[in-house]
Each structure stands twice: as structure tokens, then as C-alpha cells.
Structure 1
């Protein structure tokens, strides 16, 4: 009996040896034999009744403890690339333990929802309960489904919201989570195909009426996995933040007339500008750009920082914004509100009379904006129509800004950045969330002024950090792929324009093409084609230049409220200058963790940017489809904007909406698709359908939930399509030489038709 351990010793053994906790193993560990096992069993019974241990089959564990070999469900990687998991089964009322999965190089990549058998060991890392090593994967993660729930006589169905997919899933009676017919739901695929060829799924979330106000953007948020709720810790940190209204440790910039110029409905103001004549240079200008000092509030390694990095950027919809940071910061403490002291990081730039930047310097300051103005308001003042807010600012503030911008714009014209002219759609919603109107935003000089000064400030940030040998994230835009440029050359040729061959491609040569198209019917087509030929801009710790802006080095510095890349650049500037001024001296500079994961951050936020762009585009398509839904049967003028083997796309003139004309509706003849020339050619009529041609279409279908529009082609270039008598079938076989000659003739014919 002397060998009976104390309760504390017994609990310590169970805790430290999770793989050896059966009654027999415990008795062996403490040298207990024969009748002495009865008091041990009694002690274990008492510990179980008091809740200090629990039985797990033959093994005994602490409450909330997992066996050393467990089945886990992978919850997915976080923004830092770490892979996390949770127990596949969890019977405790305690919070789920955080399990960090460590994969070896040869082991398979795991995704969200994968089930794995793993060996666990308690972790010493803060916030991590267990470290897991993969034994084997025992199941792949369920496919996520977003769709409409339909209740039929045969049971529940989910119809996919993916445009043109036509997918369906069956839902068992006990797996619909109370979903009602016509409701928007989120689900996961749970089983193989049934006898009808449909997969099974179970509803995991009910999202409500898909036609209700704000459901349009909600669909995009869920479909693209955009986080729209902040962790409680991040919200608590944002709410606990206090204004920085002291200039101690900062440059006092409150004497400068730094005004904000934003859209009229902007909720946050993260940049302010002013300009002054340079007394030291005849015709020179001093331009100040001040940016909200977000780094003073969002420090590396905090919950706020993790939440901002996970989102990567703010996402903007017509009815809502999913901000990168909680509103306590984005719409308040980090917003440069009128008449309020705000911390900032500012750059002073000196321009000569020709608009060339001759010098610049960064400061960490405190500013107070005298006015928060809208683009239209400022433009009206410059055009001679000032209002009460701009009348007193016109001569001392606005006119010096315009003078500096005209000089900077002249220097910009010499640099020759890519000069695309693409109209931006503006969707205006009524109070009930329905679309009131669709129009195109005016492109004002006020927009160009802010854009040019922000570009100059971003260049200064990249140059300063390079000079100080400080790590940063560049905004990279590489040269276009030669194959895409060749396709652009084909499109230009078909429109009677030219893009010269045999020379190094520059933005200047592309601008010459855009100038040729200006004022012609093909102008929008050529601008879109040039845009499509470009590579996707992205973030990288290495500098590969910015082709589109014709700049050697470029970084994003001017929008840290809505872009994580800018926050990293702000931290780099703080580190490079050795500034204090945050919530704790030097705690807001670029950290070792920031530097260590710079490559991962660049890749991650490039992906979140693409995610937001696609979500915003899908939402716009859905709003346009909803706007046009009650006009099915109406006729619209437009232009062919895309050609594919399954049909052609037409962009409408008045709304910019894109819709599909299925190839099966073009007539009773076979249409050959020439991918290189981007044309369809009727094998009987010889009719050529190509990019940029004028079209009259009838709207036959508008699916607000998916954003899909379907058109019937009525006229092309003012003529009706000829109808062949032969039914659609396989194309007429031609000798290869004849087919090639016919394609060349078709291109020449299309070129003649589109030539003015």
C-alpha cells in the first residue's frame, strides 16, 4: 500500500505520458501489484467523479486532453502559411484545442476539411495546445457549396450559383438545417453520386432570401471566402485604442493646409495633399502628401495585425465595405477627419518648373486637415463654381495644387506611362437595396491630380527604402507576354490599326496604338484589349519594376487603411528612420517576423487582392443582371467584346453589361472558331463575327442570382445574319491549304469592314 501514488503524482503521470494510461500501465508504472490495485482503482474512480480525469476507452486522460494518436480535421492554413487542425470528435465543453500540423517535405499538401491520422505531442508554444505529425491522410475535405435550396417531392436539392455550371446536390431530410425553399444556403458535399448522378450535401449555414437587399454582396463574400467578421481580440484592441493628439516625437504639420479629396460617399480618408510655391526655385513647387499613421495603432504580432494580414485589403461593394481594419480605426482614429489632430507619415517633394522631382524627405508628424472635400466639389471650384466650403480655399490651397499638378503632369507625359481610358461603372442603389441606376463615372482632373501625387509619393517610398537598404514590398508589374502582344496586334490589325513589330515593347508604343483608336468606335475595344494583354500586377520583396507606370521602382505607401502592403511599407519607413511616436517606442517598426515572412506576405496579399477583385466583379455582374431582369425581351445596342467556341460576348453601350450569345442561336450553319484571330466564321454564309463589331441584341435571360445575361443576336454591323438552309452539323471538310487561304481572306475582309 506504501507504493500507492498521491493524486497529484498520478495526475502528473497521466499528463506527461498520454500513451501509457490504462489501469494496467498505471499499475506497472508505480509498481502496484495484486490486491494493491484495488485502492488504485478507487482513487481513479474518485478522480473521475470529481471531473479531474475521464475514461477514453481503456485509457484515462485529463478532461480536454487528446490521445497521442488522434483523428483530426484540417481547418486550413492561416495567412502566415501555418497549417492548423482540430479534433474530428470533441466531447468536452472546453474550447477546441489549437493543433499545429508539421508536414515534412515529402508529405502531401493538406487542405481545409481533410481528415488525417496524426501523432500528437503537447506544445510549449504560446497559443498552441498540440504539435501534430502526419501518419496518413484518411479523407479529403468536403467540397464547399453555395447555392439555392429547393424543396421538391423527391427531397431537398441545392442548385449551384456558379454561372453556367448547372450543378445540383441532393440534401437528406435531416441535413437541411431547417432551410426553406428558395433560401440561399452554404453547404458541404458529403457523399458520392446517387442513382440520379447527383452528389449528396448537407446545409451548414442559412443565408436568407437571395433577392433581399444586400444579398448580392453577401453571395460574393461567402463564395470567395472573404472574412467579414473580426476576431473578438482584434475588435477589443481597436476599441481600446486612443487618439494620438500630441506632437511629441513628431513633426508638427498642423500649419500646412493638408486637405483630403475623396469620393463624396467615402467613409475613410487616408491621404491628404497640399502644394506651395518653392521660394528657392523659380517656378518650382513643394508638394506634401500626408498619409494616416496606421502603424502607430496596428503593431506587428498583435491580433489586429493578424486580422489585417488575413484580409490583405478592404473589399468594396456597392452596398457595403468589408474593411481590412475594424471601423474604430478605419473610419475614426486612422481617418484624417476635418479639424481633428491626426498622426501621419508625410513626404515633402520638391518639383522644378518642368515638374521633375528633385528632392524629397519623409517625416512622422501630426496634422489637422482644414477641409474634407469631394472630387466633384473641388473640380467645380477650379472650373469657376466654388461653393461655401471651397470659396475661401480656392486661391490659397486649390490653385497652388493645380499649378503643381500641371507641372507634374507635364513630366508624366514625358515618362509615358500606359494611358488607358476605360470608363468605370457606378451602380447607385435605392434605400431598399435595389439598383436605381447604372452610369459611368466622370474622369475629372481632380482624380488625375490625386492619382499623380499618390504615384509620386509611392515612388519616394521605394527610393528611400532602397537607399537605406531596408526590406520592403514592391508593387511589381512585369512586361507583357509576347504571345498576348501578338494577339493584341491581330486585334489592332482587324480594326485597321497597327502595333509595330521588331522593336522593344514600351508603354510609348502602346500609347501610340491607343492614340490611333481615340475618337473611333473601336476605342473601348482597343483599350480593353491592351488591358487584357498586360500581366497581373503583384507584390514582391524583389524589384522587377513597374511596366505600366514606366517606373524603375514602385511601392504602395498611400493607403495603409485598406492595403496591408502599405502598412508594411510604413513600418519599413519607421525602421529606416528610427522613429518613435507610436504606442511604444520602436514597437511599431518593421519587425523580425515581418522580414522573415516577407515572401509569404507578398504571395498572400497578392492572392487576397485577386480574390477581392473577382468578388467585386461578380457582385457588379449580379447587380447589372438584377437591374436588367425586368427588361427581358428588350433590344440593346452593343459591341462584340469576346469570341469563344461556344458563342460570343456582347457589351451593352448604356450599362457596360456583358452577356453571352450562345453559338447555337446564331443560325442553322456551322461556325468555325479561329482562336488566334478571335473570330467566328459561318461555313455556308461566310459571315465573319469579330471583336469590336456593332451588334443589336435582344435580352432573353437575366439571372440575378448568378449574374448571367443571355442575348439573341439580331443585327451585326447593321445587317441581319443570313440563314443557311442546311441544319447544323459537322463542318464541311476542306483541304488544309484551302482552309488556311479562307482564314487569311476572312481576316482581310474583317479588316476592310472595320476600316473607317
Structure 2
């Protein structure tokens, strides 16, 4: 409790998300996806890992030995502008001008408790942030609001942590504070890395971290597609989790899976994407689809090879009535991502570092798939009118 209060006083950004885990049957197929309930022991371990990482970073910085830090920079000017425009539509503002602090972000989050669109706003706040990377130049950690932060707690599974342990060992054995003091040559052999070496190592480890996340997500998407292909034609309650110029991604509420309602599958109209408010607006009917809307959808198609889930709307849309999540399973997104030992993986958390669809795949690849999907949709239903945006990308990965 003391550590949590210290985090709150410090002003760390505390996003609330629902973390899930997959349960498998005897045939290694998905049996269910359930929220994870965390008790006080989990929270205590997490806070202790944060404290260990901070103490490590402070020790390394004081030593002036080149080492890898976990760096999380503040939001870019472009993302800030988009965020402020979005918040302005909802009569909210982000303090801090062009250089907001984590406290400014937290001030917005603190005003969301009683709002129906709280989850939507939180999603947009998260998307405005950059991705943490490994660098030898300490730039602090914006999300956790630390002046120095390193990854120390998982040397058996993260190479940056192992490099940090080597740096500490070199410092310890060269200081005379250990029973066995080594010669300068031997201590250098323990940690022979130059600043150039560490820059390269940081870039490589940041890349492999993203690659591992992508691999994890790909496997889980395959499993989810394999599960849903046995439910084609079934209906599910869902919430609009993301809106793009080529459609909207809907999260299936009870099973924590996500699929695409392509713009060509929406009721006949020409739909325009309003980036500022993250919604699609019908040109003639003025029908809108936006983040947080509660919808009912039917599983239309599942492409196991391309990891895509196509959905179609059935029934009316309930604006802003999306689920907020099970409070008992909520945890700090940034703490989970950066504390260390908690087994991570983007797909395990449905919205972990979720970015706009255009950030997941190149426009060129997506545009090709969009044309293919739009063509299939037109053949299936003559009553549908394909949007002016039919050349837009068809798919982001149809899952979490």
C-alpha cells in the first residue's frame, strides 16, 4: 500500500486495463479466455520489481559506467495534437501545453471515473504515447514518471537485464566492496562494452522485443481464429474498440476476441472517417459508429492463414455503452509492461500498446486486402453500397 501511494504521489500514469489469459482443453484448443484476477501478493511483487529497477538505474547512473536504460519518451507533437483535438470534442483538455507531464495525463484519467466513455478516452490517451526502448543515454521513463529506469529483474529471459547485471558485477568487483577484488583487466573482461556497443545492443534488443511480441500475437491470433471458425454464423455482443477509414474493429465482449466490420458491410451509405472524433459518419443517414459503441455482431468469415476475423452488424448500435471491464482484474498497464518479471506478451493483454490500424501493417499490403474483401462483399449482397473509401486498407489483424 505504501509503494502504491508513492506511485500515486509521484504521478505515474495508471491506465486501467483488463488482462486475460487463455485456457486450453485437452486437445490444446482454446476452451475459454478469462480475465485475470490479481490479489495483493501480485501487486506487492510488481511494486517491489519497480523499486528494484529504479534502484538499479540510480546506481548505474551514479557510477557513470555506460549501461542500458529503459527509456520511455513523452508523446510527439503530432500525437499530442490529435489527442487534444479528440479530447476537445468531449469537453476535456490535457494540461501542459506542448510538453505535458505524466501528472497532466493522470489529471485527465482522474476525471473519467463517472463517464460512460472512460474506456474510449483511456484508449486514446494510451495511443498518444510512444513505445519504450533500450538506450545507453538515460532519457527517463515518462509513463512511470521516473528520472532513471532500467530492466534488472529478468536476466534469464531478457538480454538487457543480463547486460545490466554484468555492469553491476563489474562495478562491484572493481570497487573493493566484495571479498574478492579483481584486477582492472579482469573487470573489463566482465563488461567490455563501449557506448557504441550499447547503442547497437539497445537497438537490437528493442527490435527483438517487438518481434517477440509480434510472434506471440500471431500465435494467439491463429488460436483465436481457429476457435471462431467453428462459430461462423453465431452472434456475439461487442464493443467498438477501434475505428479506421476502412471500418471498425469490434471486441467480442464475453470471449475477448476482436474482428473487423469492414466499411463495405455497413448499412448502405457513404461513410467518412472523422479522425478527430474517431468515428465513421454516414453521408446521407448521418449514422455514426465510434469508439465505445455497444454493438451486436455475427461472425461472417474467418481466414486462418491470414489471421482475420470478419464480422457483420446485426441489430441496433447503442452509442457509448461499451463495457468498462472487470474491476477485479484491472492492473496498471505501464507497470505490467515495464516492471519486469510478469510474463508479458501483447496478445495476453487485449489492448496492450494497441495503436491505430495503420501502424500495424503497411498501407500497401492492407490496401490490396481491402480491395479483395470489398469485392467479396459486393458479390455476397447486392443491397450494400461500397463506401468511397473502398480503396482503404481492409484489415488490421483480426484479434487482440
Task: Give the TM bin, normalised by the shorter chain.
Answer: 0.7 to 0.9
Partner of 1:610 in structure 2?
A: 210
- Match in the other structure for 1:629: 229
Is 1:675 the equivalent of 2:275? Answer: yes
Aligned partner of 2:300 in structure 1 is: 700
- The change in CA–CA distance for 1:562 and 1:627 in structure 2 (over 3 A counts) is same
| Distance in 2, Cα, partners of 1:539 & 1:716 | 46
Task: Identify unmatched segments of 5+ residues in structure 2.
Answer: 320-382, 390-400
Determine the structure 2 residue equivalent to 1:684: 284
Query: Which of 462, 467, 471 is residue 66 of structure 2 equivalent to?
Result: 471
Over residues 646-693 of structure 1, what are the superposed CA-to-partner deviations in whole Å (9 max), with x where a residue is unaligned? 211111212221111111111222111223332211111011222221
Distance 1:726 1:538 in 2: 45
| C-alpha distance in structure 1 between counterparts of 2:384 and 2:264, whole Å | 14
| Residue 488 (structure 1) aligns with | 83
Whole-Å Cα distance in 2 between the matches of residues 407 and 729 of structure 1? 54
C-alpha separation in 2, matches of 1:589 and 1:422: 44
How many residue pairs align between the two structures? 320
State the 1:542 CA deviation: 0.3
- Provide the C-alpha distance between the structure 2 equivalents of 1:503 and 1:730, rounded to a whole number of angstroms: 35
**Is 1:553 the counterpart of 2:153 in the alignment?**
no
CA distance in 2, matches of 1:715, 1:517: 29
Corresponding residue of 1:413: 8
Task: Indicate yes or no: 2:55 matched with 1:455.
Answer: no
Q: Distance in 1 between matches of 2:14 and 2:164?
A: 27
2: CA distance, partners of 1:659 / 1:434: 19
Report the Cα offset of residue 460 of structure 1: 1.0
Partner Cα separation in structure 2 for residue 730 and residue 438 of structure 1: 37
Given candidates 105, 111, 119, the residue that maps to 1:516 is 111
Quote how far apart the aligned CAs of 1:594 are: 5.9
Q: For the Cα contact (< 8 Å) 2:75–2:128, is it kept in 1?
A: yes
- The one of 160, 167, 181 aligned to 1:572: 167
| CA distance in 2 between partners of 1:695 and 1:519 (Å) | 22
2:101 maps to which residue? 506
Partner Cα distance (1:730, 1:538) in 2: 39
- Does the C-alpha gap of structure 1 residues 717 and 667 become closer, same or farther in structure 2, counting only changes over 3 Å? closer
> What is the distance in 1 between the residues matched to 2:179 and 2:251?
52
Q: 2-side partners of 1:622 and 1:578: how far apart?
A: 48
Distance in structure 1 (CA, Å) of the matches to 2:294 and 2:261: 14
Match of 1:532? Answer: 127
- Are the structure 2 counterparts of residues 604 and 665 from structure 1 closer, same or farther at C-alpha, using a change threshold of 3 Å? same
Q: 1 CA distance for matches of 2:189 and 2:114?
A: 50
Match of 1:434 in 2: 29
SS at match of 1:549: coil
1:66-85 map, 5 Å: none
2:249 counterpart of 1:649: yes
Change (3 A) 1:654 1:594: farther
The 3-state SS of whatever aligns with 1:561 is coil
| Structure 1 residues 536 and 444, CA gap change in structure 2 (3 angstroms) | same
Residue by residue, what CA displacement relative to the aligned partner does 1:559-599 show, whole Å, maximum 9, x if unpaired? 101111111111111111216799x9946964324655111
Asked whether the 8 Å contact 1:497–1:516 carries over to 2, the reply is: no
Deviations 1:606-633 (A, max 9, x none): 1000101111122222222222221111
Match of 1:713? Answer: 313
Query: Quick one: structure 1 residues 651 and 495, their matched pair in 2 at CA, closer, same or farther if it must change by over 3 Å?
Result: farther
Q: Secondary structure at the match of 1:629?
A: helix
1:85-96 matched pairs, under 5 angstroms:
none
C-alpha contact 1:497 1:517 (8 A) present in aligned 2: no
| Whole-Å separation in 2 of the counterparts to 1:651 and 1:667 | 20
Deviations 1:234-270 (Å, cap 9, x if unpaired)?
xxxxxxxxxxxxxxxxxxxxxxxxxxxxxxxxxxxxx
Following the alignment from structure 1 to structure 2, what is the Cα–Cα distance between the partners of residues 421 and 668?
Answer: 37
1:468–1:540 Cα change, 3 Å: same
Secondary structure at 1:422 match in 2: strand
> Could you tell me whether the CA contact under 8 Å between 1:525 and 1:691 is conserved in 2?
yes
Instruction: Identify, as 1 or 2, the structure richer in strand.
Output: 1
Cα distance in 2, alignment partners of residues 457 and 447 from structure 1: 15
Structure-1 separation of matches of 2:212 and 2:3 = 32
Gaps of 5+ in 1: 1-405, 720-724, 732-756
Q: TM-score, normalised to structure 2's length?
A: 0.73
Deviation at 1:548, TM superposition (A): 0.4
Distance in 1 (alpha carbons) for counterparts of 2:133 and 2:248: 30
Q: For 1:4-55, what per-residue CA distance to the aligned partner results, in whole angstroms no more than 9, with x for missing partners?
A: xxxxxxxxxxxxxxxxxxxxxxxxxxxxxxxxxxxxxxxxxxxxxxxxxxxx
By how many angstroms is 1:640 displaced?
1.3
Choose 504-513 or 431-440, whichever is displaced more.
504-513
Q: CA, structure 1 residues 589+474, in 2 after alignment: closer, same or farther (shift >3 Å)? A: farther
Per the alignment, in what secondary structure is the counterpart of residue 597 of structure 1?
helix
- Which residues in structure 2 correspond to 1:210-225 (within 5 Å)? none
Task: Please list, as runs of the form range in 1=range in 2, the aligned pairs for 1:286-325 lying within 5 A after superposition.
Answer: none
> Structure 1 length as normaliser, TM-score?
0.40
CA contact (8 A) 1:574 1:589 kept: no
